[in-house]
């Protein structure tokens, strides 16, 4: 999971800054050595090398103190540039990079490492470009901290609820504030915006949306595994839970011109679970169906009484899922190839939450799909019976 966070951070930073190369260096617990955690634009062999002493990174030493460091023109300071890269492969190619930006990865008082971003253009990192990296590194450091804390808390159940509360505040709040500021700039509240600035801030806004989606999915997954949601079982109205999900997602469907219908059942169907957990299941499944269905398409939710079981089908006329991808859908961070190529934001975590909760409530989930025709997710849950 940490690898996915670092990969997303480095790619988003590289894109937002229109850079050519980027490396994340992670600081060890003792604060004495740095090791490459993610790279983009250079050989991944850097990831395999042994941790290097901090004193070998003159620029990183400044960044680890919380400073934002830039090298505008490396032709006059090539040795400094090479020292910041410090690998045979990258040092040999340092002459191709003519400017560098080195930013700290710090969350609260904890220093996690640095991110180095390079450009083949001189004086590339100046003016507003420098300010673009700060909210991204702050969010990246917060997300990385949350993931590490989640891993630590897997065997510390007494701290699970505390983690959820802390993560909700520490991650969602800065993302919301950053997105609000970016949108204010795009709307012209901070003054006139040039075409180039609009393009840059538009890409930052999209990246923030992606980070927000990732954080929300991480928190949902943490909640489904760390709280008592899977273990909490009480009589729940299945029709009401599905109805809330459809009502919530109806405006989004109408905005996309997707027909969303709910074919309910005349009987009051009761299952054992929790309202919050079941709501998450159906909001995720119906939301995905709407998300990956093109305008003019349709999504149908159908409930069937099968005696001792209740079957819920969420069918869409969307892009469909390749057959070879279906066995991997419930793996963490997995997204089908055609979903990745689409413009829709996703993390590949939502279905993990769905599967965990459905199985915890004694049910199962199956998928049928055909590319270009659509997908049907079928959730089967046992009837509560005499409670």
pLDDT at 365 over 60: yes
The pLDDT assigned to 366 comes to 95
* CA nearest neighbour of 264 among 311, 236, 302, 299: 302
Predicted local confidence at residue 122, as pLDDT: 85
Closest CA to 102 of 127, 141, 70: 70
Q: What is the mean pLDDT of residues 118-145?
A: 82
pLDDT(92) > 50? no
Q: What is the mean pLDDT of residues 265-277?
A: 86
Neighbour-count burial of 387, counting CB atoms closer than 10 A to its CB (0-12 exposed, 13-18 middle, 19+ buried): exposed
**Would you place residue 309 in the very low, low, confident or very high pLDDT band (cuts 50, 70, 90)?**
very high
pLDDT reported for residue 162: 58
Phi first, then psi: what are they for 195, rounded to 5°? -60, -40
Q: How far is CA 64 from the centre of its chain?
A: 25
What's the pLDDT score for residue 129? 67
Tokens of 324: 């070879």
Q: What is the pLDDT of residues 153-163, one digit of tens each?
A: 655 555 555 56
The CA R_g of the chain, rounded to the nearest whole Å, is 24
CB hemisphere CA count around 332 (13 angstroms): 12
Res. 49: pLDDT tops 80: yes
Please tell me the CATH code under which domain 2-226 is placed. Answer: 3.30.450.40
Q: For the structural domain made of 234-382, what CATH number should be given?
A: 3.30.565.10
Per-residue model confidence (pLDDT) at position 93 = 41
- Least Cα distance to 138 among 178, 106, 167 occurs for 106
* Distance, CA of 371 to CA of 340 (rounded, Å): 14
For the chain, give the percent of residues with pLDDT over 70: 80
Range with the poorest average pLDDT among 52-66, 172-186, 340-354: 340-354
Copy the structure tokens of residue 174.
């800065």
Decide: 55 and 32 in contact? Cβ < 8 Å. Answer: no
What is the DSSP track for 317-366?
-SS---TTTGGGTTSTT---HHHHHSS----S-HHHHHHHHHHHTT-EEE
Backbone angles phi, psi at 106, to 5 degrees: -130, 130
CA distances to 211, 279, 301, 315, 320 from 377, in Å? 26, 16, 10, 7, 11
- Show me where the domains of the chain are located: 2-226, 234-382
């Amino acid at each position: 999971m940490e690898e996915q966070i670092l990969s997303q951070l480095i790619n988003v930073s590289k894109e937002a800054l229109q850079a050519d190369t980027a490396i994340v260096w992670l600081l060890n617990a003792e604060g004495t050595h740095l090791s490459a955690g993610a790279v983009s634009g250079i050989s991944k062999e850097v990831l395999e090398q042994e941790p290097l002493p901090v004193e070998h990174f003159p620029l990183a030493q400044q960044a680890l103190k919380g400073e934002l460091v830039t090298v505008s023109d490396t032709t006059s300071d090539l040795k400094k540039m090479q020292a910041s890269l410090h690998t045979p492969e990258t040092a040999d190619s340092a002459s191709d990079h003519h400017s560098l930006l080195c930013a700290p990865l710090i969350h609260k008082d904890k220093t996690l490492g640095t991110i180095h971003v390079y450009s083949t253009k001189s004086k590339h990192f100046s003016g507003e470009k420098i300010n673009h990296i700060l909210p991204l590194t702050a969010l990246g450091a917060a997300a990385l901290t949350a993931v590490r804390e989640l891993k630590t808390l897997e065997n510390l159940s007494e701290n699970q609820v505390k983690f959820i509360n802390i993560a909700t505040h520490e991650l969602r709040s800065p993302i919301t504030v950053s997105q609000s500021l970016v949108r204010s700039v795009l709307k012209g509240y901070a003054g006139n915006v040039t075409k180039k600035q609009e393009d840059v801030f538009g890409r930052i806004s999209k990246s923030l949306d992606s980070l927000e989606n990732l954080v929300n999915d991480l928190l949902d997954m943490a909640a489904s595994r760390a709280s008592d949601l899977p273990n909490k079982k009480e009589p729940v109205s299945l029709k009401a839970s599905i109805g809330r999900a459809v009502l919530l997602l109806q405006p989004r469907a109408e905005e996309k011109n997707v027909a969303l219908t709910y074919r309910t059942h005349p009987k009051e169907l009761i299952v054992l679970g929790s309202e919050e957990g079941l709501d998450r299941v159906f909001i995720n499944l119906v939301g995905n169906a709407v998300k990956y269905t093109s305008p003019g398409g349709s999504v149908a939710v159908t409930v069937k009484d099968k005696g001792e079981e209740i079957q819920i089908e969420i069918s869409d006329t969307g892009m469909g899922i390749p057959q070879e991808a279906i066995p991997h859908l419930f793996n963490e961070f997995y997204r089908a190839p055609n979903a990745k190529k689409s413009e829709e934001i996703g993390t590949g975590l939502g279905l993990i939450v769905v599967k965990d909760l459905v199985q915890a409530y004694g049910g199962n989930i199956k998928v049928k799909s055909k590319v270009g025709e659509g997908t049907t997710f079928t959730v089967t849950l046992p009837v509560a019976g005499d409670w």
